[in-house]
Structure 1
Amino acid sequence: MVIRQPKYSKEEFARRGDEIYESRVRPQIDAGDATQGGSNDRRIVAIDIESEDFEIDENEIAACDRLESRRPNAQIWIVRIGSRYVRR
């Protein structure tokens, strides 16, 4: 098992993750909700902060696994749609 080390400070990691979520991911989620009549609230978004690639799933591990299958060296930031917290 390969152990990855973060390339960024905690602050930079969070800043980049939040910036990508707000500028790239959230507009796509909002547009999908509007056209499909559904809601993504409470689902998990796993974002690679280097490539800006992302996955959405109800399960955190499933989202991360799919993202890592495409981006083996992903630096993953996790967001819960509609919440400030991933877990309570």
Structure 2
Amino acid sequence: MRIDDTALRGKALYQEQIRSLVETQESLGKIVAIDIESGDYEVDSDLLVASRRLRTRHASARIWAERIGYNGVFAVGGTRTRTTVL
């Protein structure tokens, strides 16, 4: 699977199945790590922690990450834009 395919699948899973479950005031700004094969996910303020927890259940997980409520996980040389209002 190419990186583009991973991104498309991860974004689709987030928008269609996961976003409505995780986009809360308490989780705004946290990271959601998504296994694009199973659709399973973990939420944490730390990307590595969320990914490691997910890999304990799915050792070969193909992980896509999103920052809840923002347009990017990290911002390099700029700022993240908030995409949701809670």
The TM-score by the shorter chain falls in which range?
A: 0.7 to 0.9
The answer as to 2:34 corresponding to 1:65 is: no
Displacement after TM superposition at 1:21 (Å): 0.3
The ranges of structure 1 where at least 4 consecutive aligned residues each deviate by more than 3 angstroms after the TM superposition are none
The answer as to 2:9 corresponding to 1:16 is: yes
Over the aligned positions, Cα root-mean-square deviation in angstroms equals 1.0
Displacement after TM superposition at 1:39 (Å): 3.0
Displacement after TM superposition at 1:61 (Å): 0.7
The answer as to 2:22 corresponding to 1:29 is: yes
Query: Unmatched 5+ residue regions in structure 1?
Result: 1-7
CA distance in 1, matches of 2:16, 2:53: 22
Residue of structure 2 in register with 1:48 after alignment: 35
Structure with the bigger percentage of helix: 1
CA distance in 1, matches of 2:55, 2:32: 13
How many residues end up aligned between the 2 structures?
75
Larger radius of gyration: 1
